[in-house]
Amino acid sequence: MPPNQQITELTLPLFDDFHLHLRAGNALKRTVSDASFWARRAIVMPNLQPPVDNFDLADNYRADIIKNIPAGRNFEALMTLYLSENIKTDTVKQAKERGIFAIKWYPKGATTNSEQGISSVQACYPIFAEMEKRGVPLLIHGEVTDTDIDIFEREAVFIDRVLIPLRRDFPALQITLEHITTARAVEYLLSIPEAEKTAATITPQHLLFNRNQLLVGGIKPHFYCLPILKCETDRKALLQAATSGNPRFFLGTDSAPHAQHKKENSCGCAGCYSAWNAPALYAQAFEEAGALDKLENFACKFGADFYDIATENYERVLKISREENTIPANLDYAEDKLIPLFAENKLNWQIKKN
């Protein structure tokens, strides 16, 4: 592999996005089209209103997603159930045969549409035990939501108070700590014995930006997401982890659209929309680390290996070209507008859009 500066084009398999919000209804036209351009599979988050917490809702949601896949593309939606009080051990028993890939746990109130989340970890223990037995992965939004915990500390406190005991009590449960944002999370992931199936997804925004991007020179709502952007030390630790070649860390964009008026608001929603051009954003980050050669495994292999799903038979490849380009100011989003992550700023990389 030549030095990064000499690489003018990356030709990679289509990516897997192991953490994606597609929303519902007429939002799907935009979100499914954008993601399926560069992703062949995605784990689809269940935090709709109402939450996807039974098989019928998951089946209907999958059917709606499939209807919105543009002609000629293969895109597989890996469906999740939302861990609410409607999830019983019986649900877990049937999950695999009903086409459910994983169960997502949002601590109550952690992010968009998480009001039905469960606040007591102990109440979930019978469910976790069944998931461990059946090999159903647990995807975690790893933040405590106690009002006395500082928003910048919520992930680190979650790891110490919740995740470490959970890992100890269910040593065979497959756990993904979603969208990690801190050096503490990286340190934790690196400390776990290899036999314990624990991994983490990392978003493009947490690799590229720190909280100054959100807060300095005026508040910039389109950089507001949860977990919130952290400091530069944290960003550097994440970039190091993502580009280290350690298979515990892999791609999950957490792309999460909100209409412009819901972000530019006195109580703006959390979420960054990166599905428009996520591979170019990741290429920008990996280039900064001098590690473009590490992008393929991070985006196309490590996650698939972790979840034990095939990585063969790619029908399309993705070309990411070194080509300075400006991210559009906005995108159509049903009857609204949507501001993509890093809108109106320049990137060194571009994916070819059709």
Dist. CA 234–CA 241, nearest whole Å: 11
Complex with Zn ion: residue 151 or 172, whichever CB lies closer: 151
Q: Which of residues 227-256 bind Zn ion (CB under 5 A)?
A: 254
Instruction: State yes or no: residue 17 binds Zn ion (CB under 5 A).
Output: no
Helix pair 55-67, 28-38: axis angle to 10 deg: 70
Contacts with Zn ion, 308-327, as mask; x by CB under 5 A: --------------------
Complex with Zn ion: residue 17 or 254, whichever CB lies closer: 254
Shortest distance in whole angstroms from residue 170 CB to Zn ion: 22
**Which residue in the shown chain puts its C-beta closest to Zn ion?**
254
- Region of 342 please: left (phi>0), alpha (psi -120 to 50) or beta: left
Shortest distance in whole angstroms from residue 39 CB to Zn ion: 15
| Helix, strand, coil % over all residues of the chain, rounded to 5 | 35, 20, 45
254 in active site: yes
Complex with Zn ion: residue 79 or 292, whichever CB lies closer: 79
Q: What are phi and psi for residue 330, nearest 5 degrees?
A: -160, 165
The two structure tokens encoding residue 176: 């993904």
Complex with Zn ion: residue 61 or 349, whichever CB lies closer: 61
Shortest distance in whole angstroms from residue 255 CB to Zn ion: 8
Contacts with Zn ion, 25-54, as mask; x by CB under 5 A: ------------------------------
Taking alpha carbons only, the member of 228, 52, 75 closest to residue 141 is: 228
Shortest distance in whole angstroms from residue 226 CB to Zn ion: 8
The single residue of 56, 254, 332, 336 carrying the catalytic annotation is 254
Shortest distance in whole angstroms from residue 259 CB to Zn ion: 17
Complex with Zn ion: residue 163 or 292, whichever CB lies closer: 163
Dist. CA 206–CA 38, nearest whole Å: 20
The position carrying tokens 């389109």 is: 222
Q: Which of residues 251-280 bind Zn ion (CB under 5 A)?
A: 254
| Residues 6 or more apart whose Cβ sits within 8 Å of residue 246 | 190
The two structure tokens encoding residue 136: 């159903």
Q: What are phi and psi for residue 133, nearest 5 degrees?
A: -65, -40
The two structure tokens encoding residue 262: 């819901």
- Residue 274's Cβ-count burial label (10 Å; 0-12, 13-18, 19+) is buried
Shortest distance in whole angstroms from residue 19 CB to Zn ion: 6
Q: Which residues are catalytic?
A: 254
Please report, as ranges, the residues that interact with Zn ion according to CB under 5 A. 254
